[in-house]
Amino acid sequence: MTEFPYIPEYITVHLGPPNQPARNVTVPFLEYIQNVASSELYPTWPENALRANIYAQISFALNRIYTEWYRSRGYDFDITNSTAYDQAFVEGRDIFDNIADIVNELFDQYLARPGYVQPLFAAYCDGRRVQCEGLSQWGTVDLAEQGLTPYEILTHYYGDELDIRTAPIRPLVQSYPGTPLRLGTVSREVEIMQDRLNRISNNYPAIPKIQPVNGVFDLNTYNAVVAFQKIFNLTPDGVVGPATWYQITLVNNAVRNLAELEAEGITLQEVSRELPTALTEGMQGQNIRLLQFYLATIGTYNDAVPVIAIDGIFGPETRDAVIAFQQFVGLTPDGIVGPNTWNALLNAYQQILESQQNANHNLVSLPIPTTLVLGSQSDAVLQLQRNLNRLAAVYPQIPTIPETGYYGEQTRNAVLAYQELFGLPATGNVNPYTFFQIEVAAAQAENRI
């Protein structure tokens, strides 16, 4: 499920019921709605009736796409042409001119409840052969002939609490982030997954609540994922790959009734958080230090990006380095670090790590590709523990800890002591920049002995 609804450039239609063999056809979304409207509506109907129906048809299709209704069930299509499940679509049919003109005007607009994000599952039926909760297609004709506007017709069936919104147009993408989420992953996708698991846990209390919901895949998140996997007969490995991601999507849709006319809404507050927040000139803090660390690392191996100081201040030098990086990777060179630039930085940084590892690069320690959190277990944790113990020999505020390679409570307490001592946010987590910082501090501390 994406964060916000959008109009896909194309939609894939299964030419039959979902569980029966049939061909799939991929057509432009605009042409799909023209086809559906021409297959279900009469061109002689009053224009206001046609408009009301087309709004409902667009919203219905976008609900299927937004909820990944079929993709989350393992199908390779977005919607069917079976009217028992979806909307009529007749491959190759003629399109009525007046219907095409209306669709051309309305195809990027959809219905939604005020305060909620998802497109309304705008249920409807013909109103003669079949009766249903929702819009009656033949009933819209009577209402239009009485002089009602398209909006008045829609609120007659769906209630007064109804918005008509405009969505952006972009290529259809699946919501799975492409790589598994696991302990230490920090991303917007982790935050989305945490939100969904917390909502699912209302119906399945064996799934522990995740607090805080912050996009950091920590031990609490791991435990919630494992509990979810056990309940739904998935391999309980605590890793969110495609099967677990789409099962979470499927169950979240079900408990919220997102594909029902009366759905529990997804609020703007649930999807409006960004991780990280867009970083711009003038900002200061740990996120800027991490940005500068990535840029400095990339600049060390790429002459196109200048090496900059890591001072936590987004000044002109940092902006120029961001612009240089954006130009190198083909992004808009605006000097603003939004999600696309941030992800490109992470990818470039990861490639450097992999190339160093493949070349057996002789570093005291290799920067880590992810965040270390409670429950992490790796050689990087072992190196972190060794460095913390090197610091503990100089700073009695930092406790000495066992060097096991497992990030347990003792390691977390030592990290917290380090962060408090050096004036850093006391999160107990170690991102790549903090890892590097501890390494440098440990080397400096030994020189003081």
Q: What is the pLDDT of residue 361?
A: 43
Cα–Cα distance, 428 to 9 (Å, whole number): 44
Cα–Cα distance, 120 to 164 (Å, whole number): 10
pLDDT band at 422 (very low <50, low <70, confident <90, very high): confident
Answer for the pair 225, 240: CB distance below 8 angstroms, yes or no.
yes
Max mean pLDDT range (104-118, 247-261, 298-312): 104-118
What is the tens place of the pLDDT at every residue in 401-419?
999 999 999 999 999 999 9
- pLDDT surpassing 80 at residue 228: yes
Cα–Cα distance, 121 to 308 (Å, whole number): 51
What is the tens place of the pLDDT at every residue in 69-79?
999 999 999 99
Tell me the pairing of strands 10-14 and 79-80. Answer: parallel
- pLDDT surpassing 80 at residue 370: no
Residue with tokens 């990777």: 329
Q: What is the mean pLDDT of the chain?
A: 88
Beta strands in 2-143 (DSSP E): 7-8, 10-14, 24-28, 79-80, 109-112, 124-125, 135-136
Query: Token digits for 263?
Result: 């759905």
- Answer with the residue of higher pLDDT: 275 or 284: 284
Report the share of the chain in percent with pLDDT over 70: 93
Beta strands in 88-173 (DSSP E): 109-112, 124-125, 135-136, 163-166, 169-170
What is the tens place of the pLDDT at every residue in 98-149?
999 999 999 999 999 988 889 999 999 987 887 788 999 999 999 999 999 9
Query: Token digits for 395?
Result: 């700073």
Query: Token digits for 173?
Result: 């993408």
Confirm whether pTM is higher than 0.85.
no
- Within 258-361, residue ranges assigned H as helices are 268-271, 286-301, 316-329, 339-358
Q: What is the pLDDT of residue 364?
A: 40
What is the tens place of the pLDDT at every residue in 158-201?
999 999 999 888 888 888 888 899 888 888 889 889 999 999 99
- pLDDT surpassing 80 at residue 375: yes
What is the tens place of the pLDDT at every residue in 338-368?
888 888 888 788 777 766 655 544 444 455 6
Beta strands in 75-162 (DSSP E): 79-80, 109-112, 124-125, 135-136
Q: What is the pLDDT of residue 408?
A: 92
